[in-house]
Structure 1
Amino acid sequence: MHGPHLPLTPDLQQQLAAWLQEDLGRGDLTAPALAGATGRAHWIARADGVFCGGVLVEPLFRLLDPEARVRLLVADSAPIGSGQRLLELEGSGAALVACERTALNLAMRLSGIATATAQLAAALDGTGVGLADTRKTTPGLRVLEKYAVRCGGGINHRLGLDDAAMLKENHLAWAGGIRPAVAAVRASAPWPARLIVEAETGEEAEAALRAGADGVLLDEFTPEQLTELVPRLRALATERGTPVMLEASGVQPEQLKAYADTGIDLISSSAPITRSPWLDLSMRFTLNWT
């Protein structure tokens, strides 16, 4: 089973342990009722969608039971249907019960994002235009939420402020314009990074290209405006001899195809992360007393 990769870094392992500890507090008060029990469990989907978060299940359960075993029946990024069995677990009864809520909460949140992303990305199938996320993420969950976007067929844009420079209205105003803002970032960036300028008018977009921007974020333009503007920007990029990435934002879901037809490269949206409901999943147990 293959899908987008999520490295289990030391930082992520620490986060999983902290999230589990948040729920455990001073200890699971129900654990004595399960002393000596081993158990089996499985997950069931309660709604159609795209699964995400299965790769976190074994690391979580092994925090309390190093011998816990997880068998994934569905890979992250796979479509699932209501009633479908997603994975099977085996381990101490106390560990299965104690980890259940943390694991399900994460998977339901991430599966909801993957599902919402897939619904939007489907509208762009065959257009060559990608659906990109934004930095509107939940603090502490950024890596996982952006992983969920990839599982839904979306593209991760900037992970943080350090991997690409995006100059927005306030930067341009305080720096004294597009050219000085671009020049300042180019002169001081300590490592190679893309430089993107947010433009609200065609004139700003053209000025950004002339100043040397690698990309232009075209915010709140209509499809009609972009149909006229994009060829001009492509011509400017050809004239300067370097390509440009053109991205549209402020796009309503029902207009995705219309924007894709304008010739842009990306449509960015925060909606899959900020507006998606959780996907309903549940865990069912079979206890084997020993």
Structure 2
Amino acid sequence: MGMGLVLSACTATFQPMGNAITQPRLTDQAFVAADGFELPMRAWLPADGQVKAVVLALHGYNDYSNAFEGAGRSLATHGVATYAYDQRGFGATQNRGIWPGTETLVADVRAAAEQVRARHPGAPLYLMGESMGGAVVLTAMTSPNPPRADGTILVAPAVWGRETMGFVPRALLWVSYNLMPGIVVHPPKDLKIQASDNIEMLRALGRDPLVIKGSRVDALEGLTDLMGAALAACGRMEVPSLVLYGAHEEVLPKTPVNRAIRDFEAHAGNVVAVYPDGWHMLLRDLKGQVVLDDIATWIQDPKSPLASGADRGPRDLVAAK
């Protein structure tokens, strides 16, 4: 048995999309992809049934669709319907922890967007991605066949590719992936990186069985490829985008974030906001409602200044390394 564990650690494993066997569709509890794979889905709808706009939200790495519980409820009060699904390899999907590949993640959001748009014909559709989800949205929207979206909302999009990594982390990833791609690694206990000032929320995530606590090396390899593609995509977005970062960003390094901000700001249709009291998990921070109110304002009128003023303030990331 011990030898089996060693051998499994020496093999890279992925779960790309299979052959098409059905028409993609939405059920009451899931998005079913063309290969029959079920992605558990949550929805938050306006109480009066009057949908003014629709958001399809993608969660971050090792998280799942429950990440948008508070955001979905808040946006619903503004007439915005929010849909969020567990991306492949995360949450309550099969083969949890196994990386699906960038092409599969992009294919899923493209198909899911079509199904959500069909459910609410005539309502503008926005893709919202948090962290890794933002990287998926960026990559999808700059692909040869992008989803039909009216705009994107990028919440601390993960844009940390190899070219912006230091030599040591890049070398460690290369060695680990080539020697033991299947081994599961956990963040060092003394790693002093804070994702949010909402400590109770962070503790709840630690207790949540659907939040993945460790990562396979081959999954980290795949994530790095995705983040690199996302960084390259920042200057090529062709739809209006609301880009949000916290000044206390510690999960993502300062260099790629600053580069992304410059690329986004180069396009007149984009709005970039940096929140002086914000962290990586902006929507769930103690002052997350400020961010949610800005998102609702932007959806209503992408050309209107944000109420918080975060789109007109300093761009300094005070906590990034």
TM-score (normalised: structure 1): 0.22
Select the structure of larger CA radius of gyration: 1
Higher RCO structure, 1 or 2 (CA under 8 Å, sep 6+) = 1
Q: Greater share of helix residues, 1 or 2?
A: 1
